[in-house]
Structure 1
Amino acid sequence: MISTHKWPEQGWALLQLLLVTSFYQAEEQICKQRGDPENPQLSKDGDIILGGIFSFHSSWKDRMESYKNKPLPLECTSLNFRDFQIAQAMLFAIDEINNSTELLPGISLGYKLFDTCGSIARSVRVALALANGNEIVSVQSESPCTRPAHVQAIMGETSSSPCMAIATVIGPFHIPLISHFATCACLSDKTKYPSFLRTIPSDYYQSRALAQLVKHFGWTWVGAIRTNDDYGNNGMATFTETAQQLGICLEYSVSFFRTDPPDKLQKIIEIIKASTSKVIVTFLSLMDLDVLMYKLSYYNMTGYQWVGSEGWIFDSQTAEMDQHHILDGAIGLAIPKAHVSGIREFVLNVKPLNSSGNEMLIEFWETLFSCKFNQSKSSAENQRECTGHEDLSELQHSFTDMSLMPIFNNVYKGVYAVARALHNILGCNKTCDYKVQLDPFTILQHIRKINFKTKEGDEVYFNENGDPPAKYEIINWQPTEKGIVDFVTVGLYDASLPANKQLSLQNKPLIWTQNSKQVPVSVCSEKCSPGTRKVLQKGKPVCCYDCVRCAEGEISNTTDSITCVRCHPEFWSNDRRDACVKKESEFLSYEEIMGALLTAASLFGTCMTAVVALIFFRHRKTPIVRANNSELSFLLLFSLTLCFLCSLTFIGRPSEWSCMLRHTAFGITFVLCISCVLGKTMVVLMAFRASLPGSNVMKWFGPTQQRLSVLVFTLIQVVICILWLTISPPFPFKNFKETKDKIILECALGSTLGFWAVLGYIGVLATFCFLLAFLARKLPDNFNEAKFITFSMLIFCAVWITFIPAYVSSPGKFSVAVEIFAILASSFGLLICIFIPKCYIILLRPEKNTKKNMMGKGTPKTL
């Protein structure tokens, strides 16, 4: 630093001169914007200015910058008639408002429309130009360089990515940005984009609607192609998430941008060729689809069902370019049809001579009519001269095509939303309050709360995210005989309705790819029919699976079932495994052969016993009957009759009473039978002993003692049966485990101990009887009762010893048959061995039926 106290006097004079000079220069200093100023392509003065950002050109010339000099501004190329047409909708709305006496009376709206050339960087640059303005401002003490925004609201842009960049830049200034076609769901985030609004629904709803549409037609195996920008990536991400929830799988999901190198697009073509899915879901912008269509046309790749987003599905120019009919039958979502009266006439009335000084209109006119104005810098020499009065209505061009009317309507609603907000802020009635200081933040707040209807009846309002209500039409491309595609509305989607009513298809015929009327099939695996279940294929998506037949006893009664349901124990799966049928109840019935034979044997035994009893009764006074203790013989015949009849209780459907009766009746009658046999055996044995000298044993085995012994032995069994029935009686039981497809109706034992106590008691008596008879087997031959009893008890014991393993191992009704067979066999053994020999003598050898023959004694045998 220079030390001022050492300065000579001339130095102070020089310093004073410099300060005076600086003061005079400061009076003339101005506030300037650095860099090249941005000028609007279309503009009009007004009391309030609205900004517009559109891509009047779709590309720009590439330049190799050396960075030695300041880079030149972008040189835009490829005039974009679509955006130029959309911009006319904004001018039409402003013109209509300026001519209105009800809306903003006395206030004129002006506009400044900028061209971005499809460049995001340029979008940000022109947005800042709209916010700041390019005019020169002198620096005065009362007028600083900082000033309010130049425009009160901005309309545009058409794409999502530029809108994100613009909204990020102007968001802190709260300048409203209203887009007519930016659909990315990410723009609903008000923390990032606080001043962004739109008149087209968010892709959040469109993506979910597309997934529901795909699911509706049963397409579970699809391919996906998207634009590699915010619109395509975010839209496809939501679609993928919803598709997974609905059971839809993506075989492939690829992205590209129109400026990508050709080899990347070639790889996408190869992926499509190698795929097995026949449905392609797209989130593509118009320009990207045009690039893809050119490549697909080159390879003549037809036969795919295209599902499109609103980005291209209702564009007539795309349909005209599809000369190879690749997109025929396409289906997708479109903005609902709309009509803005007067806009067609306004668009067709565009004249470059009416807008002098606007080079944009001159370029547009020259390109549209392939001519040139004298003042034009066009280098073409063979072009005719433009008059400026050419008739647009006679021109067949995309600019004169009104198929983009829904987008025009979105722009129209956006301009009117701003105008309504201004009308409310300025307190307009018949006049407006000019003293109100306009502030973009205030305008933004009023636009958010706006709710009105256009002259066509469309309701305009924004939700908390700055989005309108989500409604779409489902459009089907149906080629006509003239080769023109007819965009047919075949359904509607309304996100405000309940989930099950949001998607509705009308009863209209649809045309699919290759002019087919049959819905295409696009699945990785065919549907699993009822009776089968899905088993995922290893290493493949969930949509790829094998169909495995349900196991026995399991069913699946729905298509594509993931599990088989086991039938109720009383039911079994049918042969197709798609329904549970009532199991057949199996029990030993009278109708089947085995039951009929056993019933016949039982009745035969009963009749045979009755015949024997009748024979004995008729010959009751003969020696052979009297000698065999006729009272015990008749009691034995009675018990045998009961034994034969009790076997019938084992046949037929088990019931509570039959289960209790069969075992107790069997146990008691057999004890009665064995008791009688035991009594006879003891009488025979004691009778022989009584015949010995000095024996007085018969006094203990008289008729009274015989009756008492039979009663006592039988009462013991009765007590056992009563205890069994009291504690845990037998009961009917459905056995599901014995066989898979049948219910075995049987009698459960209840108390196993009771059952084996009954059988054991019978066994003890039979064994004791057998031992006594065995001891008496060598009595004199003429008195051979003991031999017959021995043999009969031998049969009885053999039958019941073999019964136990046979009963335990026999399944179902065969165990009952074994038990009946044992009862009948032992009963027949007793009847035949004890009574048939006597009947033989009574009927056929009456000469032996004498007292002498019965009392005759042979040589005694040693016992």
Structure 2
Amino acid sequence: MTSTQRCPQQGCALLQLLLVVLFSQGEEPACRQRDEPESPQLSKDGNIILGGIFSLHNSWKDRQDNYTHKPLPLECTSLNFRDFQFAQAMLFAIEEINNSIELLPGISLGYKMYDTCGSMARSAKVALDLINGHESVSAPSGIQCTRFAQVQAIMGDSSSSTSMVIATVFGTFQIPVISHYATCACLSDKSRYPSFLRTVASDYYRSRGLAQLVKQFGWTWVGALRSDNDYGNKGMATFTETAQQLGICLEYSVAFFRTDPPNKIQKIVEVIKHSTSKVIVAFLTFPEMDVLMKKLSLHNMTGYQWVGSEGWIIDSQTAEQDQTHILDGAIGLSLPKAHVSGMREFILNVKPVNLSGNDVLSEFWEAIFNCKFKQSNSSAANQSECTGHEDPSGIKHGFVDSALTPILYNVYKGVYAVAHALHKILGCNQTCTYNLQLDPFTILPTLRHINFKTKEGDEVYFNEDGGPPAKYDIIHWRPTEHGVVDFVTVGLYDASLPEDKQLSLLNMTLYWAQNSTQVPVSVCSEKCSPGTRKVLRKGKPVCCYDCIRCADGEISNITDSISCVQCPPEYWSNDNRDMCVKKEAEFLSYEEMMGALLTAAALGGTCMTAVVAFIFFTYRKTPIVRANNSELSFLLLFSLTLCFLCSLTFMGRPSEWSCMLRHTAFGITFVLCMSCVLGKTVVVLMAFRASLPGSNVMKWFGPTQQRLSVLIFTLIQVVICVLWLTISPPFSFKNLKVVKDRIIVECALGSAVGFWAVLGYIGFLALLCFVLAFLARKLPDNFNEAKFITFSMLIFCAVWLTFIPAYVSSPGKFSVAVEIFAILASSFGLLICIFIPKCYIMLLKPEKNTKKNMVSATHQKNYKIFS
């Protein structure tokens, strides 16, 4: 026949997709497998077959293929006692179900278990062997095909990488794959692995739990080691992401595989040696950990704190090989402790049923008892002969250790999950309605929604990611007196709880590296105390920083603050920069030295003015008083008294009323003062000019006119002040900008125009007085009033001209002091220049206090004007 015929059986369709090539050149058409099928390491017939894929060996022999002949099958080496226990746990669960009258009554479960040797290529091959099956069936027209295997579900594998390969193969056919130990978070992707389920939680939760555990002990500077496979790389990626969120930095992160060259492992040892971190997070499987421990032991690298994943943290074999106590005090997350009655006894009751040297049971027996069967080709002269009746329970070996019970329990739960799904599909009650052609497309959906309790009382179900709830024990390595490591449960991590409650530690003493009870310190930089902030070092991770003291006016009241907080406007930082304290209010007070001196000067000026007034009153009838316009003189002395006293309104804490009073009182009193001086100046000038023949000018500058002029000049200032207070009056103001660490309580001007109008009007009058007095300075008299007024106005103007820049540039209370000083200085200038010379004559030179000496003979007729 020249055309290829398609087998109608389902098995032929599968073979056509995977391994079948149909030949039809002059031969009878047939479906046949290209390669020889792989025989299972352990198998048993039954009504329903479950597949088992385990890494019963850790490695395989290297060989160089020249591709001139068909490659030989892998030759596996290094028996993996852990996975051998997992296989035994599967057998125990199957035997228990077969002996049950409640679960699958009348149905016997069989199994086919294959060894992957940890190889992904071999994993794909054994997966295809489980799908294809080996039984020949006759198809129509006499075509021989291999029928579809009766494998309804697969248990395994322990490794995430091999499980990904297996799940990819079986996912196409919707055959459930249930792993007990493949924890890679990538396997939760149902678009890539639709039929993958597991009885162990995803590494996503475990990695986050490890990061929280590291943070719990304050370790922010750690090194990281990982297996160079999907388990290590994916798990470390999640750990790194969570660690960054928690403020943990990785000094280094290196990956290796157990088959890497020795020089690569040596480089990792050098990295650890030259690191500054004292905590190592090891996301490794136990074979990689064993290889690393051998290297570290050669260098006696103790004193490091190890944080481990479940891949090695409860592995008794790793603990036995740690002879130099490198891992003492290690801490990590492990599956919760579990106990299945009868399982340990079943595993220890294993017997070699086949004495062939290639039989895995015989190899196991020879390994744990260090003996050889007679049929073994590799028997050595120094090894005893195996009888097959040795007692495993009496030896010290990792195989008999109970540390792996949680993982064995996961295998047990996986088998029971399949059994419960089959029980539901087959409608089992007293008996089961068994159909040999079970449709795998119905098993997976049923298995996804299965929910049952084991005989131990634990609830078993699968969440939307195909895994169980994430709960872990926190395991601590505590060496005993005999050098044996005791795996102590010191806490619990439950990912289902709120994040702040997920991690809980028991109140018990922990023994860290080198048997220390003090928690190790592993930080790149010490914590920044309150009052400082962190500044990152250039080119370094965020955990490496310097502590910089907060600037003035800023605080940080927490440890390791990344920034300083600005204090509120009315507050300032204390000396430690860890608290905002209320700023001290600054104003010119009576109690301080400067305030006391100015107050004394003001009161002294007031008293001095009062004394002068008393003298003038006493000598009011003498020529010198009468000649100097006594009425204006007393009014001037009164205004000077008010000037001295108004300076006191500038003292003390400013308030709304004091601010309005001080400026208006100052403006009005000084205008009153200038009005009197101006009146005296005009009178002096006009009086002497009236002595000219035919002059009648003095009738316009009599006492009435003098009083009226003073009143008008003063009323103008009053109007200016009223307008100022009405439109925008001065007010009390807390100035926070002039001085940063204090509050300057001052009087804001309100309307600057009003202030400068008041000041300008006073200046105008002073300037006018100065000009008029200057014009009369050379009048021919023995005692010329104009000379003294000129000099007093010169002082007055000089004081107030220097006041303006000093006032503007002086900060805070010093500006008030400058203003008070200007008031006092100008007041003293007027008092001293105008009145002191007259008092000197009245008191010390009475002989000059005569009418003759006051006015020249030419002007004696005008003497009455001054009276």
Q: If the length of structure 1 is used for normalisation, what is the TM-score? A: 0.92
Q: Output one character per residue of 1:228-270: Cα deviation in whole Å (capped at 9) or x when no partner.
A: 1111111112222222233322222111111111111111111
SS at match of 1:352: coil
Mark the CA change 1:795 to 1:363 in structure 2 (over 3 Å): closer, same or farther.
Answer: closer
SS at match of 2:207: helix
Asked if 2 retains the 8 angstrom alpha-carbon contact of 1:32 and 1:137, the reply is no
Asked if 2 retains the 8 angstrom alpha-carbon contact of 1:780 and 1:859, the reply is no
How far apart are residue 437 of structure 1 and its match? Answer: 4.0
SS at match of 1:152: strand
Q: Output one character per residue of 1:200-226: Cα deviation in whole Å (capped at 9) or x when no partner.
A: 111111122222222222222222111
In the other structure, the counterpart of 1:515 is 515
The one-letter amino acid paired with 1:369 is F
- Deviating more after overlay: 59-68 vs 477-486: 59-68
Structure 1 distance, partners of 2:357, 2:484, is: 40
Structure 2 distance, partners of 1:695, 1:56, is: 141
Q: Given the alignment of the two structures, is residue 721 of structure 1 paired with residue 697 of structure 2, yes or no?
A: no
- Deviating more after overlay: 154-163 vs 824-833: 824-833
- Deviating more after overlay: 162-171 vs 577-586: 577-586
Q: Output one character per residue of 1:798-817: Cα deviation in whole Å (capped at 9) or x when no partner.
A: 22222223323333222221
Residues 52-201 of structure 1: matches in 2 within 5 Å?
Answer: 52-140=52-140, 145=145, 147-201=147-201
Q: Given the alignment of the two structures, is residue 579 of structure 1 paired with residue 579 of structure 2, yes or no?
A: yes
In the other structure, the counterpart of 1:422 is 422
In the other structure, the counterpart of 1:368 is 368
In the other structure, the counterpart of 1:293 is 293
In the other structure, the counterpart of 1:240 is 240
Structure 2 distance, partners of 1:87, 1:752, is: 96
Asked if 2 retains the 8 angstrom alpha-carbon contact of 1:31 and 1:136, the reply is no
How far apart are residue 142 of structure 1 and its match? Answer: 9.7
Asked if 2 retains the 8 angstrom alpha-carbon contact of 1:200 and 1:467, the reply is yes
- Deviating more after overlay: 240-249 vs 638-647: 240-249
The one-letter amino acid paired with 1:695 is S
Structure 1 distance, partners of 2:469, 2:204, is: 12
The one-letter amino acid paired with 1:308 is G
In the other structure, the counterpart of 1:496 is 496
Structure 2 distance, partners of 1:817, 1:811, is: 10
Mark the CA change 1:79 to 1:435 in structure 2 (over 3 Å): closer, same or farther.
Answer: closer
The one-letter amino acid paired with 1:154 is I
Mark the CA change 1:452 to 1:852 in structure 2 (over 3 Å): closer, same or farther.
Answer: same
Asked if 1 retains the 8 angstrom alpha-carbon contact of 2:553 and 2:567, the reply is yes
- Deviating more after overlay: 386-395 vs 326-335: 386-395
Unaligned 5+ segments in structure 1 are: 3-21
In the other structure, the counterpart of 1:337 is 337
- Deviating more after overlay: 369-378 vs 139-148: 139-148
In the other structure, the counterpart of 2:611 is 611
Q: Output one character per residue of 1:354-378: Cα deviation in whole Å (capped at 9) or x when no partner.
A: 9999933233223322334455555
In the other structure, the counterpart of 1:630 is 630
In the other structure, the counterpart of 2:675 is 675
Structure 2 distance, partners of 1:798, 1:187, is: 92
How far apart are residue 612 of structure 1 and its match? Answer: 2.3
Asked if 2 retains the 8 angstrom alpha-carbon contact of 1:256 and 1:265, the reply is yes
Asked if 1 retains the 8 angstrom alpha-carbon contact of 2:134 and 2:149, the reply is no
Structure 1 distance, partners of 2:173, 2:785, is: 128
Structure 1 distance, partners of 2:701, 2:520, is: 100
Identity %: 80
SS at match of 1:817: helix
In the other structure, the counterpart of 2:553 is 553
The one-letter amino acid paired with 1:124 is A
In the other structure, the counterpart of 1:533 is 533
How far apart are residue 650 of structure 1 and its match? Answer: 1.2
Structure 2 distance, partners of 1:425, 1:356, is: 40
Structure 1 distance, partners of 2:400, 2:687, is: 136
How far apart are residue 397 of structure 1 and its match? Answer: 1.4
Structure 2 distance, partners of 1:674, 1:797, is: 12
Q: Output one character per residue of 1:574-623: Cα deviation in whole Å (capped at 9) or x when no partner.
A: 33333333333222111111110110110111112222223333443444
Asked if 2 retains the 8 angstrom alpha-carbon contact of 1:31 and 1:137, the reply is no
How far apart are residue 756 of structure 1 and its match? Answer: 1.9
How far apart are residue 198 of structure 1 and its match? Answer: 0.6
Q: Given the alignment of the two structures, is residue 784 of structure 1 paired with residue 784 of structure 2, yes or no?
A: yes
Structure 2 distance, partners of 1:57, 1:803, is: 99
Structure 1 distance, partners of 2:801, 2:639, is: 21
Asked if 2 retains the 8 angstrom alpha-carbon contact of 1:392 and 1:400, the reply is yes
Mark the CA change 1:852 to 1:35 in structure 2 (over 3 Å): closer, same or farther.
Answer: closer
Structure 1 distance, partners of 2:310, 2:676, is: 102
Q: Given the alignment of the two structures, is residue 812 of structure 1 paired with residue 812 of structure 2, yes or no?
A: yes
The one-letter amino acid paired with 1:808 is V
Asked if 1 retains the 8 angstrom alpha-carbon contact of 2:225 and 2:282, the reply is yes
Q: Output one character per residue of 1:610-650: Cα deviation in whole Å (capped at 9) or x when no partner.
A: 22223333443444333333322221111111100000111
SS at match of 1:53: strand
Mark the CA change 1:566 to 1:799 in structure 2 (over 3 Å): closer, same or farther.
Answer: same
Structure 1 distance, partners of 2:199, 2:738, is: 72
Asked if 1 retains the 8 angstrom alpha-carbon contact of 2:356 and 2:376, the reply is no
Number of residues paired by the alignment?
Answer: 838
Structure 2 distance, partners of 1:333, 1:590, is: 72
In the other structure, the counterpart of 1:836 is 836
In the other structure, the counterpart of 1:472 is 472
How far apart are residue 692 of structure 1 and its match? Answer: 4.4
Mark the CA change 1:850 to 1:442 in structure 2 (over 3 Å): closer, same or farther.
Answer: same
SS at match of 1:157: coil
- Deviating more after overlay: 322-331 vs 481-490: 481-490
In the other structure, the counterpart of 1:484 is 484
Structure 2 distance, partners of 1:577, 1:676, is: 58
Residues 196-211 of structure 1: matches in 2 within 5 Å?
Answer: 196-211=196-211
In the other structure, the counterpart of 2:273 is 273
How far apart are residue 290 of structure 1 and its match? Answer: 0.3
SS at match of 1:145: strand
How far apart are residue 673 of structure 1 and its match? Answer: 0.7
Asked if 1 retains the 8 angstrom alpha-carbon contact of 2:30 and 2:143, the reply is no
Q: Output one character per residue of 1:494-517: Cα deviation in whole Å (capped at 9) or x when no partner.
A: 221222222222322222222222
In the other structure, the counterpart of 2:315 is 315
Asked if 2 retains the 8 angstrom alpha-carbon contact of 1:780 and 1:857, the reply is no
Residues 211-226 of structure 1: matches in 2 within 5 Å?
Answer: 211-226=211-226
How far apart are residue 690 of structure 1 and its match? Answer: 3.6
Asked if 1 retains the 8 angstrom alpha-carbon contact of 2:136 and 2:146, the reply is no
- Deviating more after overlay: 85-94 vs 640-649: 85-94
- Deviating more after overlay: 373-382 vs 636-645: 373-382
In the other structure, the counterpart of 1:14 is none
Structure 2 distance, partners of 1:367, 1:812, is: 92
- Deviating more after overlay: 142-151 vs 364-373: 142-151
How far apart are residue 307 of structure 1 and its match? Answer: 1.2
SS at match of 2:800: helix
- Deviating more after overlay: 190-199 vs 615-624: 615-624
Structure 2 distance, partners of 1:356, 1:289, is: 32
How far apart are residue 192 of structure 1 and its match? Answer: 1.4
In the other structure, the counterpart of 2:324 is 324
Mark the CA change 1:135 to 1:769 in structure 2 (over 3 Å): closer, same or farther.
Answer: same
The one-letter amino acid paired with 2:389 is H
Mark the CA change 1:54 to 1:138 in structure 2 (over 3 Å): closer, same or farther.
Answer: same
Mark the CA change 1:685 to 1:367 in structure 2 (over 3 Å): closer, same or farther.
Answer: closer
In the other structure, the counterpart of 1:434 is 434
What is the Cα-based RMSD across aligned positions, in Å? 2.6
Structure 1 distance, partners of 2:637, 2:412, is: 114
How far apart are residue 343 of structure 1 and its match? Answer: 0.9
Unaligned 5+ segments in structure 2 are: 3-23, 861-867
The one-letter amino acid paired with 1:83 is D
Structure 1 distance, partners of 2:545, 2:383, is: 64
The one-letter amino acid paired with 1:216 is Q
Structure 1 distance, partners of 2:356, 2:721, is: 122
The one-letter amino acid paired with 1:599 is T
How far apart are residue 141 of structure 1 and its match? Answer: 5.4
Structure 2 distance, partners of 1:670, 1:287, is: 100
